[in-house]
Amino acid sequence: MVAASGSGSRDGWSSRTAFVLAAIGSAVGLGNLVRFPAEAAQNGGGAFVVFYIACIVLIGLPVLLSETLIGRHGQSSATVSVRRMAEQSGAPKAWEGIAALGVLGSTMILAFYCVIGGWVVNYIWLFFNDLIQSGVMGGALPGMSGEDIAAIFPSLLEDGMTMSVLDLIFLGLTFYFVARGVSSGIEVMATWLMPAFFILLLGITVYGAFGGAFSETLTYLFTFDFSKLTGPVMLAAVGQAFFSLSLGMAGMITYGSYVGRNVNLAGTSAIIASADTAVALIAGLCIFPIVLAAGLSTDGGLGLMFDTLPHAFQSMPAGSLVGLAFFIMVGFAALTSSVALMEVPTAWAMEKFQARRLPCATIIGLIVLVLGTLSAYSLNTLSGFHPLGFIPLFEGQGIFDVLDGMTAKLLMPIGALLICIFVGWVADPKLIDDENGLTGALHLFWRFLVRYLCPVALAAILVVGLFPDLVSA
């Protein structure tokens, strides 16, 4: 189907709804379900949440619109789309470097993202077996002591072989949908998985609200204590907003390039950002009541999902069923994001080498598999190998952490900062005005944000990411 793609033979979304669902699928992922609740917990609950929402509206949303409009204007892979707009604006075509950075960054994120996706597969398998053995009404993991459960996640992290196989399974699924193309692969997947995701999320949240500590959660997530809003907390919120909306890594340029001319991008961007934020908040309302009701601690980063929740499911009625449903839901969200990440380098390679989709996706899949396997082993056997150890920022870090830190602290803020400068200052305003679907005061406000507020916020995350000593926690 090319109906809405606006250009002859190029693959594209078959409808506006397909684009919106796929873009929400890209945005909603491990970032919403694992990182947002963990960051909110570590950074003082309500203060973080309120500031995060402000960041989404004032900083994330304007950049989201900027990225999609570059893609829609270019109707090509991310690099060619940026080059086209640069050339038409009389600017050097070297601006396409922004998107090249995104191609590289998306590939790097994909590598460690699929390792975490593999962990999710592991827990789906665990709770599936548990459900078969203990039946629907039992609590999860009967017969396991607290220490047994506490050992599940660390022993997975110690097992490079198992993690590599799980990584391969998750990457294989991602590859399958990307290889089938935009309208018959990615779009079909998003139109099935996103509604299923929302049903699961609401179901588990309602369940937790009845059985869990819901009012405690509300106090925790929405009590705004101004004194907790410190510099590091604010920067964590800006970084999380960008990661969650999939910005700075050419992802939304790529998805935008499959959108038809008749779609109002300002409207769709607002829908995408609202849905993404709603999911992050509901994820908090889903996870914390379960954790607080079981009397467990809410901090602990990734452990919140992979260690604390399994403990909590043990004491819940129908715990294995809820556990299984929960991790399937996380898997759906992760898959629609990993597909978006993989589409960026795939679309780039297809255009760069004038090649078909299958060989491009295969080669990218193999590169990601190697990086992913190395990341999995960097948590155990290869933990002493620090590839960029000579750079202070990456001192003592294995490949997994380098991929994460490099993309979150460097590539993402640089990419998004350059996008703002490009759209706000370099590109011909006439080209932009044709695309963005905004008029009047809103248009002026958006322009102001892209030219001033967004670059300043992004420069701040970049500087503090590079020189963490500048702000003390």
Choosing from 4, 23, 25, 32, the residue that interacts with ligand TRP (CB under 6 A) is 32
The DSSP result for 218-233, as a single string, is HHHHH---GGG--HHH
Contact 255, 340 (CB under 8 A): yes
Query: Whole-number minimum distance, CB 32 to ligand TRP, in Å?
Result: 5
φ/ψ of 126, rounded to 5, equals: -60, -50
With contacts defined by CB under 6 A, name the span among 26-34, 156-164, 201-209, 313-321 that binds ligand TRP.
26-34
Query: Whole-number minimum distance, CB 30 to ligand TRP, in Å?
Result: 4
User: Any idea what DSSP says for residue 14?
Assistant: S
Collect all residues with Cβ–Cβ distance below 8 Å to 258 and sequence separation of at least 6: 5, 10, 11, 12, 13, 19, 71, 182
Residue 35 or 83: the one with the smaller Cβ distance to ligand TRP is 35
Residue 27 or 78: the one with the smaller Cβ distance to ligand TRP is 27
Choosing from 20, 24, 27, 349, the residue that interacts with ligand TRP (CB under 6 A) is 27
Contact between 375 and ligand TRP by CB under 6 A: the answer reads no
With contacts defined by CB under 6 A, name the span among 29-37, 131-139, 144-152, 419-427 that binds ligand TRP.
29-37
Query: Whole-number minimum distance, CB 243 to ligand TRP, in Å?
Result: 5
Which residues in the 232-271 window bind ligand TRP by CB under 6 A?
243-244, 246, 249, 251
Choosing from 337, 346, 375, 436, the residue that interacts with ligand TRP (CB under 6 A) is 337
Residue 306 or 377: the one with the smaller Cβ distance to ligand TRP is 306
Cα end-to-end distance, the chain, whole Å: 52
Contact between 109 and ligand TRP by CB under 6 A: the answer reads yes
Tokens of 360: 């491009």
With contacts defined by CB under 6 A, name the span among 39-47, 60-68, 189-197, 335-343 that binds ligand TRP.
335-343
φ/ψ of 379, rounded to 5, equals: -90, -5
Query: Whole-number minimum distance, CB 126 to ligand TRP, in Å?
Result: 22
Q: Is 248 exposed, middle or buried (0-12, 13-18, 19+ CB in 10 A)?
A: buried
Contact between 66 and ligand TRP by CB under 6 A: the answer reads no
> Cα–Cα distance between 453 and 419 in angstroms, integer?
13
Contact between 31 and ligand TRP by CB under 6 A: the answer reads yes
For residue 141, give the amino acid letter. L
Query: Whole-number minimum distance, CB 280 to ligand TRP, in Å?
Result: 8
Contact between 320 and ligand TRP by CB under 6 A: the answer reads no
Tokens of 43: 């950074």
For residue 314, give the amino acid letter. Q
For residue 9, give the amino acid letter. S
Contact 46, 222 (CB under 8 A): yes
Query: Whole-number minimum distance, CB 465 to ligand TRP, in Å?
Result: 15
> Cα–Cα distance between 11 and 190 in angstroms, integer?
16
Cα 326 off chain centre by? 18
Write out the residues near ligand TRP by the rule CB under 6 A: 26-27, 29-32, 106, 109, 243-244, 246, 249, 251, 337, 340-341
